[in-house]
Structure 1
Amino acid sequence: MDRDDRGRNKVKTLAGAFAARTLTSSSAWAPLQIPLYRAFWFASLASNLGTWIHEVGAGWLMASLDPSPEMVAAVRTVMAAPIIFLAIPVGVLGDRIDRRRMLIGTQFVLCACTATLASLTFSDMITAKLLLVFTFVIGLGMVVHVPIWQASIPELVPKTQLARAVALGSISFNLARAVGPALGGILIAMAGVWTAFAINALSFAGVLTVLLSWKRTRRESSRGLSFRLSLYQGLRYVAKTVAMRHTILGVVLFVLPGSALWSLLPLVAKQHLGWGASGFGFLVGCVGVGAVFAAWTLPHFQRHRGADQTIAIAMVGFAIGLATLANTTGTAIVCVATLLMGATWMMTLTTLNSTAQMTLPARMRARGMGCYLTAMAFSMTTGSIVWGQLAEATSITTAQTTAAAILTITAAVSLLFRVGDT
């Protein structure tokens, strides 16, 4: 072997050692060293940002077309409702049909839909009913996209990096949530509401570009099973597998009382704190910043406390933040409380989400994640109704304080249904 060959082998050895250290690194950002995951992550960030900008634009447009509270609320309802009823059936399809092709088709429909909405809005041809129709179609597209996208993450990173990859996905969402509404407001003020939809169309086009470049070799198959039998098989697996069963229960135990934050946050800003729209945006931004900050501490926390204690401690932390928010009006304390809730919300759901993805085998992953997302959407919707009615009958302070007390109890209950070492 000559000197050049020895030099090349040494470089390869060093490169391999560097790659191994990267993949086993405890850094929260380690998965971004993987080119394919990095491309997916930035595409997801752009898509999440576009979605938040779109939501601001849709709400503002409906307030202009038909300012009744029912119609303004209907914009979010028709976009979110499909996930409750369709996430599991979509998961069945995701385990039977090529996931890459499903994602490409979905992104194409979403891109075309939002581009059409932008064009109609720009030309003043949009109506309130048309806006709801387009929003519903976008909701259908998202209910296909979300479980299939999440089921694909384990294909992009090694299993040792999955929890961090899921955490980075949460960072992407929360970064967009912190920046998107403010950016959407600026765009609408400067150039008109149609720009919010145009930006969202561009974000879907970006995701489509990444998906088209994904050279995926794995293919899904029906395995000779009917759709109904595949559905039954998926539900049975989730019900029979202890880790999955406890994970779904953990989602309900946390999100049902925890939804008191999201359902009442606009009223907290307006009525409890006496703040305007910018104050509400500040609260949402604090939650997002808290979630991003928690991403740095989560791997360390999970390593020293384990999944179950991480979930329980984070739930208690969220309860403390919620009770504090409900019983104070001081700006500094409110800021700390919302930062804490953002951090603990992310820690809890990221731990549960990564547990689900690591538990599910590849052939069951879309169905299992469909069950996970259905439990989350159902808990969020049910909790929003419950806490909204309680706040109407009593007060915002009473509703959120009650939710915080219940969350403290459910945190203790969650330790009885362990997701780690099951």
Structure 2
Amino acid sequence: MTLTGMITAWGLLGLTFVMGLGMVVHVPTWQSAIPELVPRSQISRAVGLGSISFNLARTLGPAIGGVLIAVVGIWSTFAINACTFAAVVGVLFVWKRQTTESSRGRSFIASMRQGVRFVALHRVMRHVMIGVGFFVLPGSAFWSLLPLFAKTELGWGARGFGIMVAAVGAGAVLGASVLPRLRHRFGSDRLVAASMSVFASGLFVMSRSPHWSVLLPMVLVMGAGWMATLTTLNATAQITLPPRLRARGMGCYLTMMAGSMALGSLVWGQVAGRIELSGALTVSSMLMFATAMFSLVFPLATQLDD
């Protein structure tokens, strides 16, 4: 559509919506496949490697995309990106997956109800869901307000926003490289609380010291805190869920995460409009500190610490 000039704003929104529908199916299935690819004792490391690949892509992708757009144009860049998915499809075709007990014979609604019931009744999964919801809700202030912050407080515009996102990705990659050692030394519960506190500290610094020399190192650390929290919660869910319910359970986890991000982005935009940007960041940091303390009341206590 870009090649023929048929793309419009509404067309772009529609295609983005279709891509979102694809992600709804793809991401839980992909996440639930991780425990089938590695031994149980390596699940947390596998999730960490997945986080590294995602954040490397988020860090390097915009730069590579910018170069491609300058060299071959926008439509060719989209075409190249689409072709890269052929490698993933090829791997799935040659993967010899072991069959497991399924819900064959159940209706879609009954299967989903079974997954939701397990998540609601299992103590560790309840704690995971509470943790991801209460972490992402205040944490979404960072992602939703970052473009405005880069423009109004730093005067950087799109390039500055890209630099800050790249710093977050770099911090996540660095954090993932030391995450297993930190988890082994401090345990999952204290690591999650500490990581949340690190992210909360970053939000507070952003609200008080809008200078790039302070913010860039802080954003780097925030990336590590964000990654450590979500990777630990994700790996806990992967280990806790039985194979036959893993995709549905991860669907619940990702729905909670995406829903909290969407709701939080809406809320923090309204809050920033009423009490200004610095006020919204301050409030979100206080809520994040409270979440960090609150997380210790709902321990994970999983095999990740073994």
2:217 aligns to what?
336
Aligned partners of 1:133 and 1:263: how far apart in 2?
Answer: 21
**Normalized against structure 1, the TM-score is what?**
0.70
Contact 1:308 1:420 in 2 (8 A): yes
**1:414 paired residue among 295, 300, 304:** 295
Contact 1:256 1:380 in 2 (8 A): yes
**2:23 paired residue among 142, 145, 148:** 142
Shift of 1:407: 0.5
Letter of the 1:334 partner, please give it.
L
Letter of the 1:287 partner, please give it.
V
Letter of the 1:402 partner, please give it.
V
Shift of 1:254: 0.6
Which is greater in Rg?
A: 1
Residue 391 (str. 1) matches residue 276 (str. 2): no
- Flag the 1:421–1:205 CA change in 2: closer, same or farther, 3 A: closer
1:350 aligns to what?
231
Matches within 5 A, 1:192-203: 192-203=73-84
RMSD: 1.4
Aligned partners of 1:248 and 1:132: how far apart in 2?
Answer: 30
Structure 1 gap segments, 5+ residues each = 1-119
Residue 275 (str. 1) matches residue 150 (str. 2): no
Aligned partners of 1:326 and 1:173: how far apart in 2?
Answer: 28
Residue 247 (str. 1) matches residue 128 (str. 2): yes
Which portions of structure 1, spanning 4 or more consecutive aligned residues, are displaced by more than 3 angstroms? none
User: 1:70-94, CA deviations, whole angstroms, 9 ceiling, x for partnerless residues?
Assistant: xxxxxxxxxxxxxxxxxxxxxxxxx
Shift of 1:375: 0.4
Aligned partners of 1:143 and 1:199: how far apart in 2?
Answer: 23
1:214 aligns to what?
95
**1:366 paired residue among 241, 244, 247:** 247
Shift of 1:412: 0.5
2:53 aligns to what?
172
Contact 1:301 1:310 in 2 (8 A): yes
2:70 aligns to what?
189
Shift of 1:421: 4.6
Matches within 5 A, 1:229-240: 229-240=110-121
Contact 2:100 2:244 in 1 (8 A): no
Contact 1:272 1:396 in 2 (8 A): no
**2:137 paired residue among 251, 256, 265:** 256
**Normalized against structure 2, the TM-score is what?**
0.95
Shift of 1:129: 2.9
**1:377 paired residue among 236, 258, 261:** 258
SS of the residue aligned with 1:121? coil
2:6 aligns to what?
125
Aligned partners of 1:223 and 1:192: how far apart in 2?
Answer: 47
Larger mean CA deviation between 196-205 and 411-420 belongs to 196-205
Aligned partners of 1:219 and 1:197: how far apart in 2?
Answer: 37
Structure 2 gap segments, 5+ residues each = none
Shift of 1:203: 1.9
Aligned partners of 1:233 and 1:315: how far apart in 2?
Answer: 31
2:108 aligns to what?
227
Contact 2:171 2:220 in 1 (8 A): yes
Letter of the 2:17 partner, please give it.
F
Shift of 1:219: 4.8
Contact 1:253 1:411 in 2 (8 A): no
Letter of the 2:224 partner, please give it.
A
Letter of the 2:300 partner, please give it.
V
Shift of 1:124: 1.9
Contact 2:236 2:302 in 1 (8 A): no
Aligned partners of 2:31 and 2:156: how far apart in 1?
Answer: 36
Residue 160 (str. 1) matches residue 41 (str. 2): yes
User: 1:33-59, CA deviations, whole angstroms, 9 ceiling, x for partnerless residues?
Assistant: xxxxxxxxxxxxxxxxxxxxxxxxxxx
1:285 aligns to what?
166
Aligned partners of 1:219 and 1:359: how far apart in 2?
Answer: 16
Contact 2:125 2:240 in 1 (8 A): yes
Contact 2:144 2:265 in 1 (8 A): yes
Contact 1:292 1:343 in 2 (8 A): yes
Shift of 1:410: 0.9
SS of the residue aligned with 1:122? coil
User: 1:362-406, CA deviations, whole angstroms, 9 ceiling, x for partnerless residues?
Assistant: 000011000000000111011111111111112111101110011
User: 1:235-255, CA deviations, whole angstroms, 9 ceiling, x for partnerless residues?
Assistant: 110011001000000001110
Letter of the 2:50 partner, please give it.
G
Question: When the two structures are aligned, how many residues end up with a matched partner?
Answer: 303
